[in-house]
């Protein structure tokens, strides 16, 4: 059975969120278990992965795919993409500007 990409993107995106939460992405810099640049790269990867998943789900819905299943995947990927974008902005250091 071939799993549609939006569902794969949603699952991997949830795993990335779990990874970022467990490594302390939103904690003060002294409490993080990964370097800041690593958190930024992982959040960026998660954003692109879930944004592409949401786009593909919308494209498949417009071409007449299974509506309910794709709508759930598109909504989940869209929410995760927005969350990764917000996390990347929160992680970005402001003292360098």
pTM over 0.85: yes
Residue 46 within any structural domain of the chain: yes
Alpha carbon distance 3, 46 (integer Å): 19
Domain range spanning residue 63?
38-91
pLDDT, tens digit (0-9, with 9 covering 90-100), for 21-32: 999 888 887 788
pLDDT, tens digit (0-9, with 9 covering 90-100), for 48-58: 999 999 999 99
Give the count of domains, the chain. Answer: 1
Residue 8 within any structural domain of the chain: no
Q: Report whether 20 contacts 39 (CB < 8 A).
A: yes
Alpha carbon distance 46, 54 (integer Å): 12
Residue 15 within any structural domain of the chain: no
Residue 32 within any structural domain of the chain: no
Residue 29 within any structural domain of the chain: no
Residue 13 within any structural domain of the chain: no
pLDDT, tens digit (0-9, with 9 covering 90-100), for 33-79: 889 899 999 999 999 999 999 999 999 999 986 788 899 999 999 99
Residue 53 within any structural domain of the chain: yes
Alpha carbon distance 25, 27 (integer Å): 6
Residue 25 within any structural domain of the chain: no
DSSP string, 51-81: HHHHHHHHHHHHTT--HHHHHHHHHHHHHHH
User: Residue 93 — very low, low, confident or very high, per pLDDT cuts 50/70/90?
Assistant: confident
């Amino acid at each position: 059975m071939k799993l549609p990409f939006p569902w794969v993107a949603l699952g991997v995106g949830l795993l990335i969120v779990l990874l970022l939460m467990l490594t302390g992405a939103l904690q003060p810099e002294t409490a993080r278990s990964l370097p800041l640049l690593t958190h930024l790269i992982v959040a960026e990867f998660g954003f692109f992965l879930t944004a592409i998943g949401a786009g593909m789900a919308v494209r498949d819905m417009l071409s007449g795919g299974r509506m309910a299943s794709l709508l759930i995947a598109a909504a989940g990927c869209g929410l995760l993409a927005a969350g990764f974008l917000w996390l990347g902005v929160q992680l970005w250091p402001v003292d360098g500007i």
